Amino acid sequence: MGMKRRILMAVPLLAVLPFAVPPARAAAADSASIAAPVNALDRALITTMKSASAGASFMARYAALKPVVETSFNLPAILQTSAGLLWSQIPPAQQTELLKLFTQYTVASYISSFSGYGGQKFETLPGARSVGASRVVTTDLIAPSGHKTKLAYVLSPAGSTWKITDVLFDGTISKVATQRSDFGSLIEPGNAAKLIAALKQKVTALSGGALHG
C-alpha cells in the first residue's frame, strides 16, 4: 500500500478520535448528569439551614429555595401521581390551584424541616441504581455526631434532563406513596375542594402564616 493511500485511509479515524468519549468517562458524565438535581437540592438545603441560623425570614428562605425545588423536582408529575386516578376528573382550574399549593407545600416543608445549621453536610453516594427507566441516587445527611440519615431520590427523564419524582426516606419509605394515601381520601370525582382546603391549612401552618395559599 502506497504512503498516500495509507494517509487518506487514516484521515477519517483521526477526525473521529479527538471527539470520541471513552466509555468510563461517558458513564461518569451520565452519572453526574443524573445526580445533578439531587446535588443542587442538597446545596440549596445547606444554604437554607445557614440562612435560618443567620436569622433570615421565612419568605427570604422561601424565595431562595423555591426555584431550586421547581428545577430539581418534577412537581406536576409528583402531584398527579399523588392525586391518583381521579386527577383527570379534577377541573382544570382546581388542577392549577393544586399545583400552586403543592409547590408551596413542598418548599415550606423543606424550610420547616431544615430550620437551622449545626455543621450538617450531605454526601452523595457514587453511582445510580437503575429501576426500569428511572434511576435512584442516594445521599446521606450527616450530622456533626456522625449520624447518617439516608435519602434515596428517584429520578426520571424529563425531556433532555432528569428530575426527581420521589423521595425514599431511610431508603425505603416513599413520600409519594404516603402523599397518595393522604391526598386520595380528600378527592372526590370531579372535585378536589377538600384537598385544596387541606393544603392551604398545611401551607399556613408550615410557614407560620407567612403564606396563605
Q: Look at residue 10 and tell me if it is in a domain.
A: no
Q: Look at residue 1 and tell me if it is in a domain.
A: no
Query: Measured between alpha carbons, how far is residue 163 from residues 132, 138, 157, 159, 174 in Å?
Result: 15, 14, 6, 9, 16
The model's pTM is 0.85
Instruction: Tell me how many domains the chain contains.
Output: 1
Q: Look at residue 185 and tell me if it is in a domain.
A: yes
CATH of the domain at 64: 3.10.450.710
Q: Kindly list the averaged pLDDT for each block of 10 residues, start to end, along the chain of length 213.
A: 36 35 44 93 98 98 98 98 96 98 98 97 93 95 96 94 95 92 95 98 96 80
- Provide the residue range defining the domain that includes 189: 22-206
User: How far apart (Å, rounded) are the C-alpha atoms in residues 77 and 40?
Assistant: 20
Q: Look at residue 58 and tell me if it is in a domain.
A: yes
Q: Look at residue 102 and tell me if it is in a domain.
A: yes
